Amino acid sequence: NLGFTKVVPGIRLTLKEKDPRSERHRFIQFKSYLFKEDALQFYRDTVIVGLDTTITFKNRTVTDSRTLNQLRFVVENNRVLYPYSGELKIEQGKDFVRAGFTGKYFFNYAKKGGLDVRLFAGKFFYTSSKTINKQFETDRYHLNMTGANGYEDYTYSDYFVGRNEFNGFVSQQIMVRDGGFKVRTDLLADKVAKTDDWLIAANISTTIPSAFNPLELLPFKIPLKFFVDIGTYAEAWKQGSDADRFLYDMGLHIPLLKETINIYIPLLYSKVYKDYIQSTSLKKERFWKKISFSIDISNFSFRKIDRQLNF
């Protein structure tokens, strides 16, 4: 099994609010992520005995090191009515800088539930001349419209049931990051709308009223939401590109355990996603194959007790 070690020294400056009763929380945080990761290295072993030559392909485990510096500016207000948050995150690693802003706002409904709105804008920079090798080496850091997988969790901050799996239901886990789309295109060498330039997206999710929620028929309560994602990215606007300039997906969202576990069922989506699903799965499997899920342990943590514990 491949493993990793992570050391994360950091510092956080919390900005004091003038009103001690304020629910607003602001801080500036800097971290350095120091990683050692196991990787498989494939090589060819050639044995020559007399006139006979035997070639065997083998693999061995090697350990690689990498460093990522991360600076965050965060403001959040966890008030009961209309909570919001905004985060500017700047990350620097070998040969690149990655910057992204994420804004969230929740509009409460009069009776129950509400409307979640999330906005994201990101830019990826190369710190020296862009080359094919640098594109390959920084691939996991590129901005992603479709659901990010375990490999793309480059800080190992999310919990994955099968981080490196490519088959089975555990391989359908995603991170809601960057563009925040719920569809997946993991089987493509070049994922749909993955970019090393810029990306902009909006994600909207609304509670479905109990009267229209078929899950209300169950003996236990399970909420149901409807989501819509829309976004665009740099390559779609380049001269000569035949890609759709705006992509979308929409469907049902089943949040469990206070949104610690989230199940997404995409129902409608852009043609490029439809073509991918049809080309990678049998017709009888397509409904189940396009389902994705995420696990957000931060929604089930001591942060709900004391916000100062978030570090």
Looking at this protein, which amino acid is placed at residue 97? V
Does residue 51 lie within any of the structural domains? no
pLDDT digits (tens, 9 = 90+) for 211-245: 888 888 888 889 999 999 999 999 999 999 989 99
When pLDDT is cut at 50, 70 and 90, the band that residue 168 belongs to is confident
DSSP secondary structure letter of residue 148: B
Mean pLDDT (whole number) for 101-119: 95
pLDDT digits (tens, 9 = 90+) for 2-51: 788 999 999 999 999 988 888 999 999 999 999 998 887 777 878 787 77
> In this model, does residue 310 exceed pLDDT 80?
no
Does residue 272 lie within any of the structural domains? yes
Listed residue (246, 216, 212, 251) closest to 231, CA to CA = 246
Does residue 46 lie within any of the structural domains? no
Does residue 187 lie within any of the structural domains? yes
Does residue 40 lie within any of the structural domains? no
pLDDT of the residue at 300 = 61
Does residue 122 lie within any of the structural domains? yes
Joined together, the tokens standing for residue 120 give 């994201």
Does residue 16 lie within any of the structural domains? no
Average pLDDT, the chain: 90
> In this model, does residue 301 exceed pLDDT 70?
no
When pLDDT is cut at 50, 70 and 90, the band that residue 303 belongs to is very low
Pick 44 or 194 by higher pLDDT.
Answer: 194
Handedness of CA 53, 59, 61, 63 (dihedral sign): positive
- Counted domains in the chain: 1
Q: Where are the beta strands (DSSP E) in the chain?
A: 4-7, 10-15, 24-49, 52-77, 84-93, 96-108, 114-126, 143-144, 194-195, 198-207, 225-233, 247-256, 261-269, 292-295
Please give the residue range of the domain that contains residue 175: 79-309
Listed residue (206, 253, 249) closest to 230, CA to CA = 249
Does residue 202 lie within any of the structural domains? yes
